[in-house]
Chains A and B, each alone.
Chain A
C-alpha cells in the first residue's frame, strides 16, 4: 500500500503531525498527531509502496524490540491510518 497523495508530515513546535495539503485532500479537515514511533514509520512509508513488515522493520532498526512486538505495533498504527483514510491499498 501507499500513503495517499496530499498528506504531509510536518513538525509543529517539536511534535509530528500529518496535515492535508494536496488538492485531492481538500475535504480532509483533520490534523493527525503522530508519536515518535508512528512518525518513524511514516517516514519509512513516504513516497513508496510499503506493507506492515516494512514498518515493523523500521521499528526494529530504531528500537530494541522483538519482531512480534514490532509487528503488533506496526499493525495497530497501520489499521489506524487506513481507518482515517491516510493510506490506500
Chain B
C-alpha cells in the first residue's frame, strides 16, 4: 500500500486540531502547504476534524443544488454552492468568479467531523492554478468552520492586527479597506503586528473572545500561530472624514453577521454561530469607523478603540 494513503498530518488552528490525509499526492495541497506549516502539531488521537483530499473531476451528477446555481448576493455571483446527495449528506461545490465549473467540492458528514475534499487540478489559461488553489482553500475553510461552529468558534472575514497584547479586527465589504486599515496601523502605530489579513479565527476561550492566526490570509502570506484577546472590532465605511462611532449591541450583532460566515441553513450550525456572536458583542466594543484611507484614520481608530475598555 502506498504510504501516502495512510500518512496523516496534524494542524492546530485556534486550539482545534485537524488531520489531513493527502490521498492522491495533490499538487494543490503541496502548493498551499507552506500556509499550514506554522500550525503543524503532533499526532492527536481524536482530532476535531479529519480531512481527506482527493484529486479528480468534480462530479455533481445526482446531487441536488440547494440554491439557484446562478444566484448572486448584491450582484456578486455565489461561489459556494451547497448540494445534498441522495442520502441527504451536504456536498458543497466551490467555484471562483470566471471559472466555468467548480474546481473543488467538499462532502461533510452529519456531525461535521469528517470532510472529503475533491479538487480538480486541471489548469488552463482560463483556469489558472491560483484559482484552483483558492477553491481548494475555500473547501478547507468550510470543513474547518463546520467542524468548529458548535465550539464557540467563528470564521471571520476580517483583517486583524495585534497591538499591546490585544487584537483588533477590521471588517468591511470586500474592497472597502480592511487591509488598508491594518497597513495604516502598521505604518503609523508603533508596536503593531499583523495577525492575519483575511480570515482570523475568533474563539471564545473561557469567556474571553480571542483572535487566532490561521492558514487562511487572502493574498497576504501571514500565517501565524499566535493569539490575542480581542480589544475591539471596527467596521470600515468609506467617508470623506475620520470618525469612530460605537455600535449598539444589536447594531454590532447585525454588523458582525455579515462578516462571520456560517452554514446557517443547518440549525445546529446557526445555533453555534449565534451563541458565539452574542458572546462576542456582549464583551467586545464594536464600532463603525467612517474613514479615509489615511494615517489619521488609523490614529483616530487606535485612540478610540484603546480607550474603550
B-binding residues in A (CB < 8 A) = 6, 8, 10, 12-13, 15, 17, 19, 21-24, 26-27, 29-31, 33
The CA-CA distance from A33 to B253 in the complex, in Å, is: 11
Smallest CB separation, A46 vs chain B (Å) = 14
In the assembly, what is the distance between CA of A19 and CA of B73, in Å?
A: 16
Using known A-B contacts A12-B249, A23-B67, A26-B67, determine if residue A31 contacts B254 with beta carbons closer than 8 Å. yes
Q: Which B residues contact A (CB, under 8 angstroms)? A: 66-67, 71, 73-74, 78, 82, 249-250, 253-254, 257-258, 264-265, 270, 274, 278, 281-282
Instruction: Check if A31 sits within 8 Å of B257, measured CB to CB.
Output: yes
Q: How far is the CA of A11 from the CA of B239 in the complex (A)?
A: 32
Q: How far is the CB of B253 from chain A (nearest CB, A)?
A: 5
Q: Quick one: closest A residue to B82, CB to CB? A: A23
Known: A23-B82, A27-B73. A13 touches B282 (CB 8 A): yes
Find chain B residues with CB under 8 A from A10 CB: 274
Chain A residues positioned under 8 Å from B257 (CB to CB): 19, 31
Q: Which chain B residue lies CB-closest to A30?
A: B254
CB of B71, distance to nearest CB on chain A (Å): 7
Across the interface, A31 reaches (CB within 8 A) one of B71, B78, B250, B282, namely: B250
Q: List 13 A-B contacts (CB under 8 A).
A: A6-B265, A8-B270, A10-B274, A12-B278, A15-B249, A19-B257, A21-B270, A22-B265, A26-B67, A26-B71, A26-B78, A29-B74, A31-B257
The number of A-B residue pairs with CB atoms under 8 Å apart is 45
Residues of B within 8 A of A29 (CB): 73-74, 258
Looking at chain A's contact residues, the main secondary structure is: mixed
State the 8 A-B residue pairs at the shortest beta-carbon distance, nearest first: A31-B254, A23-B265, A21-B264, A13-B249, A21-B270, A12-B253, A23-B66, A22-B265
Which residues on A sit within 8 Å (CB–CB) of B78?
26
How many angstroms between the C-alpha atoms of A10 and B250 in the bound complex? 11
Contacts of B265 in A (CB 8 A): 6, 21-23
* Min CB–CB distance A35 → chain B (angstroms): 12
Least CB distance from A51 to B in Å reads: 27
Q: Which residues of B contact A21 (CB under 8 A)?
A: 264-265, 270
Query: Which A residues lie within 8 Å of B250 (CB)?
Result: 12-13, 15, 17, 31, 33
A26-B73 contact given A15-B249, A15-B250, A21-B264, CB 8 Å threshold: yes
For the complex, what is the distance from the CA of A31 to the CA of B256, rounded to whole Å?
Answer: 11
